Amino acid sequence: MNAGWQNKNEPTRAHTTANEIELKLEFAADATGQLLQHPLMSQARMLPGQGGILHAVYYDSTDFALHKAGLTLRVRKQNGRSTQTIKAERKARGFALDRGEWEIPVDGGLDLASAAGTPLAALVSNEAIRADLKPVFTVETDRQAFEIKRNGATIELALDEAKASTDSGAEKFCEVELELKDGDPSALFALADDLADSIPFRLSPITKSERGYRLLGQADSGPVKAGRIVVPTTAASAEAFQMIARSCLSQIIRNEALLRRSRAPELLHQMRVGFRRLDAAISLFKPMLRDRDSDAIKTELRWAGKKLALVRDLDVLIARLRKANDTDMGLPALAEAGRLRAEAFESLLKTLSKPRFMKAILKAATWVEAGRWLESRKPAIRAARELPAQTRAAWEFSRRWQRIRRDARRMADLSGKARHELRISIKKLRYGVEFLATLFPGVPARKNRKAMVDLLERLQDVLGKLNDIEVGRTLLDPPFRKPVRKAAGYTKRRVRKLLPRAEKASRALVRAEPFWA
């Protein structure tokens, strides 16, 4: 199948270049009939030429150089014709796939000369990589394709029943691909939202190529942490919020996909961080999110986020119990915490597969991209939408900073509940600073921002330890609470040791210089 490298002096056939904007929805195989009978499908025009059996062969080197560079190279055979496709992932990845795509008809094998002018060119100019390219996996797809007009956009809907195969294994899956042919990307989400009202779809970040690489053990299985967000200094509040919310939702979705395959505590932690970051973003831009739909979305996101709490709290407790010195008492408590964690995790997996959870995530994505808050004509909401993000950030940071400084100054007098509320306020301000850091450029601002973030993190960490003491002692039944108190530091002596650290961190924090002034 490997056609080899063509001479650079030979004429190269022109390839088709496109920017592919695509939304993937995963669903159970038994829901295919439901989708085809959905009222929206009666308005769809069937595309026989785009459907049928698709046999795709993916190529890479022995050390997976293309995959590591964020590139895919495939030859797909469909209706007797073969097409070579090169795809390049964007560095900043949201929940809608936005990829560069280059296509060219081929005779059945690779035409690497046509890589000229694409991101693949630099790699295949390397003789060793070029000679090492070979088929690494295949994807066989039974596709039904349709065209749907919606909100002035043209969308291609592909219903795929597929199987990714390697020499060592295979994975079957069903998905709907919504690809924007022309129009506004928000139409993709509006269509997905309508379909999801009656069909349990899951917003999926997994491409077909990722499934193949996952079978080869090459897909990233580590936790997905918050990505850097670059908000332009000229951005309005609406644009800034969308950029931030996409990042937060992407962190939730990608960690959730990994969590369903692994019990790793850090995956759950990062998924929960995604929910908390999104909650912080919503509170930061609250004035433009004051409508009934926004309130409904917030309620569902809070419900979904809370479902992660018990397992995460048990993970923290287990980590502390493992450090306990009293093995006679600590081991039974550790075993009991492990048992409870296993039960709670199984319950969580069921929740992740419930229609309500899947709809909450998909509807949140739709709300970010095409919610009514974007079109509201109410003067206050419209003004909040159009307000420069820099102005919004400076005002909100100042308001929150004043409240944090006020409470930090009286740290010694705060109750446990008040300390917990202060910790939440600090966390939200820190997230806000991370979201909107690029709105305040320049060396002095960067230095002051770093100094402030370091101080916020220091105080947040100490307050977190105090909160863990309160939470950890409530998770197990009374017979196991003594070792929990010991492992978690639930003693007056431990609290007395932490409080002076909190007071010291507070004094340093109140002296910090605002970087947004």
Residue 59, domain CATH: 2.40.320.10
Total length of the chain: 517
Q: Find the mean pLDDT for residues 225-251.
A: 95
- What does the pLDDT average to over 221-231? 91
- Give the end of a domain, one of 163, 190, 219: 219
Whether the predicted pLDDT of 327 surpasses 80: no
User: What are the start-end ranges of the H helices in 137-227?
Assistant: 186-196, 208-215
Q: Check residue 395 and give its pLDDT.
A: 96
User: Do residues 310 and 387 share a domain?
Assistant: yes
Question: Residue 504 sits in which domain range?
Answer: 286-510
pLDDT for 7? 32
Q: Please report whether residue 236 resides in a domain.
A: no
- CA 509-514-516 angle, to 5 degrees, is 150
Q: Which of 201, 219, 237 is the last residue of a domain?
A: 219
Task: Tell me if 445 is assigned to some domain.
Answer: yes
Could you give the number of structural domains in the chain? Answer: 2
pTM of the model: 0.88
Residue 243 counted as domain residue: no
Q: How far apart are CA 4 and CA 487, in angstroms?
A: 62
* 316 and 445 in a common domain: yes
**One domain for residues 43 and 121:** yes
| Interatomic CA distance for residues 85 and 102, integer angstroms | 6
Are 188 and 298 contained in the same domain? no
Residue where a domain stops, chosen among 219, 236, 263? 219
What's the pLDDT tens digit per position in 7-49?
A: 333 334 455 555 668 899 999 888 999 999 999 999 899 999 9
In a domain, 453, yes or no: yes
pLDDT tens string 279-312: 999 999 999 999 999 999 999 999 999 999 999 9
Question: Which is nearest to 207 in space by CA: 254, 246, 248?
Answer: 254
Backbone angles phi, psi at 226, to 5 degrees: -60, 130
Q: Does 502 reside within a domain?
A: yes
188, 366 contact by CB (below 8 A) = no
- For residue 515 the two structure tokens come to 């970087």
What are the residues whose beta carbons fall under 8 Å from the beta carbon of 383, sequence distance 6 or more? none
Q: Is the predicted pLDDT of residue 266 greater than 60, yes or no?
A: yes
Q: Tell me: do 214 and 326 sit in the same domain.
A: no
In this structure, is residue 249 part of a structural domain? no
CA 435 to the chain's CA centroid? 15
